[in-house]
Structure 1
């Protein structure tokens, strides 16, 4: 996923607020392969896995897919507390 796509096109699907990008891993072309988007208003957390942002409504999100992402974050030393798909600060 290209950084410009996130900056120019994506917003939180629930409240249309801006998203904060965190890049964890990029390709040699500087595309995002692993990262996250966090809504600045409602604090919903959307992982980016293999360059694809997972931005489904809460009831359609698959915790098993996202579990792999959270485990990889933990191994990399990026502690995040997520509850009900929202970032807990």
Structure 2
């Protein structure tokens, strides 16, 4: 995902601004791994292989995202997520 794209995105549920957290970037400084989070509703959207996962809750794949959360724990940046919302 290109860094410039973040300015065009908002939370699909309440249209609030999103906070970008970059974990891994490409040589061109595109986001390869990271997350977007909404400060209003606390929803958490992972960026996996450069693609932000911003589907409605009922269409999100918990198993795919759990692998992402486990990798965050291994990297030392754990997140407490429940029902796709950031708790900590």
TM-score (norm 2): 0.97
Structure 1 residue ranges without an equivalent (≥5): none
For residues 7-58 of structure 1, the C-alpha deviation after alignment (integer angstroms, 9 at most, x for no partner) is 2x10000000000000000000000000000001000000000000000000
In structure 2, what is the equivalent of residue 3 of structure 1?
A: 3
Q: Following superposition, which runs of at least 4 residues in structure 1 exceed 6 angstroms of deviation? A: none
CA RMSD in angstroms comes to: 0.6
Distance 2:47 2:78 in 1: 16
For residues 50-74 of structure 1, the C-alpha deviation after alignment (integer angstroms, 9 at most, x for no partner) is 0000000001100111111111100
Distance 1:42 1:77 in 2: 25
Figure out how many residues of one structure are paired with residues of the other and give that number.
88
Distance 2:22 2:79 in 1: 14
TM-score (norm 1): 0.96
